[in-house]
Structure formats: C-alpha cells, structure tokens
C-alpha cells in the first residue's frame, strides 16, 4: 500500500508546461496528460510529475503510441518521476 497526501483535492498544474499528478493512478494519469498536451501548442514541452510507479512506464509508452515525443523519464530523489514530453501531433 502506498502512502499519499491526506488531501483529497485534485492535482494541479504548477505552470503551463508542468502537470503535477501526484496522488493520481492509471489510467487517470494518462487521461490528464493527454488533455494537458492537447491544450498546448505544437512543439511545446510538458513535464509530468507522478508518484505512481506504473505511470512512469505507462505514460511514456502511451504518449509514444499516440505520436508524441518522449524526451525522458527521470527518477527524482523524493520518490517521484518526471516525464518530459514534446507535443508532436495535434
């Protein structure tokens, strides 16, 4: 069982190019990622922060299958992952 914040409020994006999905699980992590990418202009980058380990694999795989560019997946010291994506399809 994983521990998460006791707050039930939904994750918020801290900036147009960053999506904080801590506390969210699959498939909602990719659904929110896809919606965020759709709102960005072509060529823009999006950094997705997640604490759900399966999402660190599923988001990049699904984004690549959808035609987006996966720039990288980085494990962060706090136990989260940063997934960097570039919008390549509309």
Residues identified as active-site:
26
Alpha-carbon distances, residue 62 vs 10, 53, 67 (angstroms): 22, 15, 9
Is the sign of the CA dihedral 27, 5, 50, 55 positive or negative? negative
Strand partners, 82: 49, 74
């Amino acid at each position: 069982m994983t521990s998460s914040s006791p707050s039930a409020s939904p994750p918020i994006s801290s900036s147009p190019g960053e999506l904080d999905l801590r506390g969210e699980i699959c498939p909602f992590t990719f659904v929110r990622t896809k919606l965020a990418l759709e709102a960005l202009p072509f060529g823009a980058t999006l950094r997705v922060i997640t604490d759900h380990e399966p999402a660190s694999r599923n988001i990049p795989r699904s984004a690549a299958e959808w035609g987006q560019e996966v720039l990288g997946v980085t494990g962060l010291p706090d136990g989260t992952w940063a997934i960097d994506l570039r919008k390549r399809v509309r």
